[in-house]
Chains A and B, each alone.
Chain A
Amino acid sequence: MLSRRSTLLAASAIAAVVGFSLPQAAHAADQVVKIGIDASLTGGDANEAELVKNGALMAIEEANAAHVVKGVKFEGYVLDDGTATAGQYDPAQAAINARKFVADKAVLGEVGPQMSGAAKAMIPIASWANLAMITESATNPAMTDPQNAAQYRPNGKPVFFRTVATDAYQGPNLANYFADTLKVKTLYVLDDSGAYGEGIADAFQAQAAKKGITLLGRDKLDPKAADYSAVLTKIKELNPDALFFGGVLQAGVKVVKQVYDILPHTMIKGGGDGLVGGEIFTAAGYPAAEGWYATQASPHVSDAANTKDFVAKYKAKFKMSPDDYTITAYDGTLVLIDSVKRVKEAGKPLTRENVRDMVATAKVPTLQGTVAFDENGDIQDKVISIFQAHDDKADTACKLEDASCQFKYIGVAPQS
C-alpha cells in the first residue's frame, strides 16, 4: 500500500514523464527523412572523411533543432565506402552503399561521396532511383559531362550535383599558376592510377602543354606499392622544373616523403585537393611536406569572417578544425534540406524525384555563397584556391594534423 508521500512522489514522477514525453510524442509523428552520407572513413583518407561527415551531420542537427522543415525530422545515415583491403575508397563498397541508400525508402538524398572513384560506382545506381547526390569533394569532371549521360544518367535527368568545382578547373588553373607565376618550363607528371588522380593529372598536363610547358614524362604509380624510388630516380635524371602529382593520400604520403629523399629540394611540387589532408603532415611530415602546392576546388572560406560561428561551433562539438570541404559538405546538406522544404511548401509529396527536381533548381544561401547548379549538376560559381604547405614554427596553435592551417592560403588560381 502506498503511503501518501510515496503516492505524491509517484504522481509527480508520472507527471514528469508525461510532461517531458508529450512534445516528443508530437515529434515522433514527424516524418523521418534520411540523408545518406557516404565517405571513405577507412583507409588513407579517413581523417578528411571524418571532417566532411561531421559537417553534414551538423547541418542535419541544426535543421532539426530549428525545425526548418515543419513535420520533418532529418536523420543522417552514414556509410563507409573505404575498406581495409583497399586501404582507401573501394568502388565495390561504394556500389553496395548506393544500393543500401536506394533500398531504404526514407533516404531522399545523399551527401557525398568524398571520392570520384566511389562516385562513379554510385551514380548509375542512384540514377535509377532518382536519388539526388550532392558531393562535397568528388571533382572528376566525367560524372557531370553530358557526353557520359548514358553512363551517369541512365534514367534521364542528372542526379549528381557538386558544391565544388571540378578537376577540369582544378588541374588547369594550377597549371596556369605554375606557368604564369612560378615560370615553370619543364614538367613531370605522376598519378596514382585512380579515377580522380588520373583525371586531374590529365587536365593539368593538357593545360600545361597549352601554356608552353614541356612535358618530360608521365608515370602511373601503384598506390599500394611502398617504393617509388625507381621512378623518382628517373625524374631526378630528367631534372624538370616542376613535378605534379595527381592522387589521394595513400600514394600521396609516400610520394611526398620519397620526393624529399630523392629529388632536389628546390623543385616545384604540386598536387590537387587529394593532397590536402592531415596525413601529409603526420605521416610524411616536415621537412618533406614543406613547399608542396595543393588546391581546393572551392573558395577558401574556412577562415573567412562569415564562417567564424560555424568554425567555432564545429570545433567545440567535434574537437577538430573544419576544412573547406567540411564547409562544402555542410553546404550540400543545406541544399538538400532546403529542397525538402521547398517540396513540402509546394504541397507535393516527398519523393526522391521531387527532391531531385528541387535540388536542380536550388538557389540556396550557404557558407560559401549562393549555391546553384547548371543543367549538368555542376556548381555555377567555380573557384579554385591555391595553398602551399609551410612549417610556421611560430604558429603553435596550428596542430600538425590540421591540414587546414598547415596549408597556407595563397590565393585564387588564375582561370583561363
Chain B
Amino acid sequence: MTAVDVYLQQAINGLSLGAMYSLLALGFTLVYGILELINFSHFNVFMVGSFIGLGMLELFGVMPNGAALTGFALVGVLLATFAVTMLGSGVLGVLIERVALRPLRNIRGPASMITTIGVSYVLFNVILLSVGADAKNFPSPLPSVSFAIGGAVLRLREILIWVISLGLMGGLTYFVQFTKMGKAMRATAQDPEAARMMGVEVDRVIITAFFLGSALAGAGGLMFGLYYNITSYVIGFQAGLRAFTAAVLGGIGNVPGAMLGGIIIGLIEAFASYGFTAFGEHWLGAKWADVIVFSILVLVLVFKPAGLLGRLAPNKS
C-alpha cells in the first residue's frame, strides 16, 4: 500500500465509524434540543438495538458465517430487520421517557439526568443477565463484495452504512424542517411555554423526539453489528461516549451539527489510531485515540461551548 492508499483507507474507516456516531449523536441532540436533558440511557438503547437486530436476523434464518443473501431476499431481510429494530428501539425510548423521565419533568436540577444513568445501567444489566457476558457472533446477510480503489479496499458493508446513514439523516432533516410535527419540535426547542400557548402538544413532541432518537440509535446498533459482525452487552458505553462527544462538538441541540460532529470524530479516531511518521519516528497510535477524542470534548466545552454549528441558547429558566 502506498501512503495515499493508506490515507484513503483510513478515511473509509473513519467515515464508517463517523456514520454510526452521527446516528447516535442525533438522539442526544434531539432530546437535548427539546428538554435540555443529556439522555445517558441512549448509550444502551444503541446496544439493545443491536440485540434486537441480532434476534431478527436469526429469525430470518441468517446464520453467522452462513451463506450470504443476494437480490430481493437481501433487500427484504435488511429492510424488515431495520424496520423492526428501529421500531423496537423507538418504543423502548418512549417507554423510558414515559416511565422514568416524565414523573421528573418538572423537577429542577440534575434528577432527570441521573435517572437516565440509572436506566442505562438497568438496560445494561438486563441484557447481561438475559444473553450472557460473552460476545456474540453477529450474522451477516451481506455478500463479501469489495472494490479496490488503488490499494484501498471499499467493502459493500461500508457503502451500506453510508447509504443507510445518509438516508436516515436526510429523512430526519426533512421531518424536522418540513413537517408539522417537525415545526412543533423546533418551536418547542425554542420556547416550550410559548409553543404550548400556540397549541403545540408538548408531550407529543417530547415522545416523538425520544422515539426518533432511539430509533436512530437502534439503527446505529444494527449497523454496528452488521459492520463488525459482533456484539456484546458492553458496546454501548464506548460508542455512546464518542457520539456524545460528537454531539457536543457539533453543537448539542443542533441536528446538522450532530451529523457533522459524528463524521469528524470518526475521522479523528481513525487518523489518530493510525498516527503519522515524522522525524524518523511513528507518533500517536491506537492508545492515543481516546486521549485525543476526549481532549476535544474538554476543549470544546471550555472554548466553544456552543459547538461548531450551535448557538448559545438563551437561559430558559
Tell me, yes or no, whether B74 is within 8 Å of chain A by CB. Answer: no
Asked if residues A46 and B270 are in contact (CB atoms below 8 Å), the reply is no
Quick one: given A234-B274, A282-B137, are A224 and B285 in contact (CB under 8 Å)? no
Tell me, yes or no, whether B175 is within 8 Å of chain A by CB. Answer: no
**Least Cβ–Cβ distance between B176 and chain A, in angstroms:** 29
Quick one: given A233-B10, A237-B6, A286-B65, are A221 and B133 in contact (CB under 8 Å)? no
Complex CA gap A237/B272 in Å reads: 16
Quick one: given A225-B238, A234-B274, A283-B137, are A46 and B287 in contact (CB under 8 Å)? no
Tell me, yes or no, whether A284 is within 8 Å of chain B by CB. Answer: yes
Tell me, yes or no, whether A257 is within 8 Å of chain B by CB. Answer: yes
Tell me, yes or no, whether B234 is within 8 Å of chain A by CB. Answer: yes
Asked if residues A230 and B269 are in contact (CB atoms below 8 Å), the reply is yes
Asked if residues A226 and B239 are in contact (CB atoms below 8 Å), the reply is yes
**Least Cβ–Cβ distance between A42 and chain B, in angstroms:** 5
Residues of A within 8 A of B228 (CB): 226-227, 254, 257-258
Residues of B within 8 A of A44 (CB): 133-135
Complex CA gap A397/B229 in Å reads: 26
Residues of A within 8 A of B182 (CB): none
Asked if residues A253 and B230 are in contact (CB atoms below 8 Å), the reply is yes
Quick one: given A233-B274, A257-B229, are A47 and B285 in contact (CB under 8 Å)? no
Interface size in chain A (residues, C-beta < 8 A):
42
Tell me, yes or no, whether B282 is within 8 Å of chain A by CB. Answer: yes
Tell me, yes or no, whether B17 is within 8 Å of chain A by CB. Answer: yes
Complex CA gap A253/B235 in Å reads: 14
Tell me, yes or no, whether B124 is within 8 Å of chain A by CB. Answer: yes
Tell me, yes or no, whether B32 is within 8 Å of chain A by CB. Answer: no
In the complex, which residues 158-172 of chain B have their Cβ closer than 8 Å to any Cβ of chain A?
none
**Least Cβ–Cβ distance between A274 and chain B, in angstroms:** 14
Asked if residues A231 and B273 are in contact (CB atoms below 8 Å), the reply is yes
Bin the interface of chain B by size. 35 or more
Quick one: given A84-B124, A224-B234, A283-B135, are A229 and B286 in contact (CB under 8 Å)? no
Tell me, yes or no, whether B190 is within 8 Å of chain A by CB. Answer: no
Asked if residues A230 and B13 are in contact (CB atoms below 8 Å), the reply is yes
Tell me, yes or no, whether A220 is within 8 Å of chain B by CB. Answer: yes
CB closest residue in chain A, given B127: A84
CB closest residue in chain B, given A229: B13
Residues of B within 8 A of A258 (CB): 228
Tell me, yes or no, whether A82 is within 8 Å of chain B by CB. Answer: yes
Complex CA gap A236/B233 in Å reads: 30
Complex CA gap A87/B235 in Å reads: 10
Quick one: given A219-B286, A220-B285, are A82 and B230 in contact (CB under 8 Å)? no
Asked if residues A219 and B287 are in contact (CB atoms below 8 Å), the reply is yes
Tell me, yes or no, whether A193 is within 8 Å of chain B by CB. Answer: yes
Tell me, yes or no, whether B271 is within 8 Å of chain A by CB. Answer: yes
Asked if residues A230 and B10 are in contact (CB atoms below 8 Å), the reply is yes
Complex CA gap A126/B157 in Å reads: 51
**Least Cβ–Cβ distance between A249 and chain B, in angstroms:** 8
Residues of A within 8 A of B5 (CB): 237
CB closest residue in chain A, given B3: A237
Asked if residues B286 and A228 are in contact (CB atoms below 8 Å), the reply is yes
In the complex, which residues 136-182 of chain B have their Cβ closer than 8 Å to any Cβ of chain A?
136-137, 155
In the complex, which residues 57-104 of chain A have their Cβ closer than 8 Å to any Cβ of chain B?
82, 84, 87
Asked if residues B1 and A237 are in contact (CB atoms below 8 Å), the reply is yes
Residues of A within 8 A of B287 (CB): 193, 219-222
**Least Cβ–Cβ distance between B58 and chain A, in angstroms:** 14
Which of the listed residues B64, B135, B237 has the most CB atoms from chain A within 10 Å of its own CB?
Answer: B135
Asked if residues A283 and B230 are in contact (CB atoms below 8 Å), the reply is yes
Residues of B within 8 A of A226 (CB): 224, 228, 235, 238-239
**Least Cβ–Cβ distance between A313 and chain B, in angstroms:** 26
Complex CA gap A116/B316 in Å reads: 52
Complex CA gap A69/B128 in Å reads: 41
Quick one: given A230-B274, A285-B65, are A279 and B290 in contact (CB under 8 Å)? no
Please, what's the 1-or-0 string for B102-143, where 1 marks a CB less than 8 Å from any CB in chain A?
A: 000000000000000000000011001000111111000000
CB closest residue in chain B, given A238: B1
Tell me, yes or no, whether A217 is within 8 Å of chain B by CB. Answer: yes
Quick one: given A84-B233, A226-B224, are A217 and B270 in contact (CB under 8 Å)? no
Asked if residues A222 and B282 are in contact (CB atoms below 8 Å), the reply is no
Asked if residues B135 and A287 are in contact (CB atoms below 8 Å), the reply is no
Asked if residues A233 and B13 are in contact (CB atoms below 8 Å), the reply is yes
Complex CA gap A22/B133 in Å reads: 44
Tell me, yes or no, whether B275 is within 8 Å of chain A by CB. Answer: yes
Residues of A within 8 A of B282 (CB): 217
Tell me, yes or no, whether B41 is within 8 Å of chain A by CB. Answer: no
Asked if residues A282 and B286 are in contact (CB atoms below 8 Å), the reply is no
Tell me, yes or no, whether B289 is within 8 Å of chain A by CB. Answer: yes
Asked if residues B65 and A287 are in contact (CB atoms below 8 Å), the reply is yes
Tell me, yes or no, whether A43 is within 8 Å of chain B by CB. Answer: yes
**Least Cβ–Cβ distance between A201 and chain B, in angstroms:** 13
Asked if residues B269 and A227 are in contact (CB atoms below 8 Å), the reply is yes
Residues of A within 8 A of B238 (CB): 222, 224-226
Tell me, yes or no, whether B245 is within 8 Å of chain A by CB. Answer: no
Tell me, yes or no, whether B254 is within 8 Å of chain A by CB. Answer: no
Please, what's the 1-or-0 string for B220-242, where 1 marks a CB less than 8 Å from any CB in chain A?
A: 00001000111011110111000
Asked if residues B133 and A46 are in contact (CB atoms below 8 Å), the reply is yes
**Least Cβ–Cβ distance between A263 and chain B, in angstroms:** 11
Tell me, yes or no, whether B9 is within 8 Å of chain A by CB. Answer: yes
Please, what's the 1-or-0 string for A230-259, where 1 marks a CB less than 8 Å from any CB in chain B?
A: 110110110100000000011001100110
Complex CA gap A279/B132 in Å reads: 12
Complex CA gap A279/B137 in Å reads: 9
Complex CA gap A44/B1 in Å reads: 34
In the complex, which residues 227-265 of chain B have their Cβ closer than 8 Å to any Cβ of chain A?
228-230, 232-235, 237-239
15 contacts between A and B (CB under 8 A): A84-B233, A87-B234, A193-B287, A220-B285, A220-B287, A222-B290, A224-B237, A226-B224, A230-B14, A230-B289, A231-B286, A233-B9, A253-B135, A258-B228, A283-B232
Leading 6 A-B pairs by shortest Cβ distance? A230-B273, A283-B135, A220-B287, A87-B234, A229-B13, A237-B1
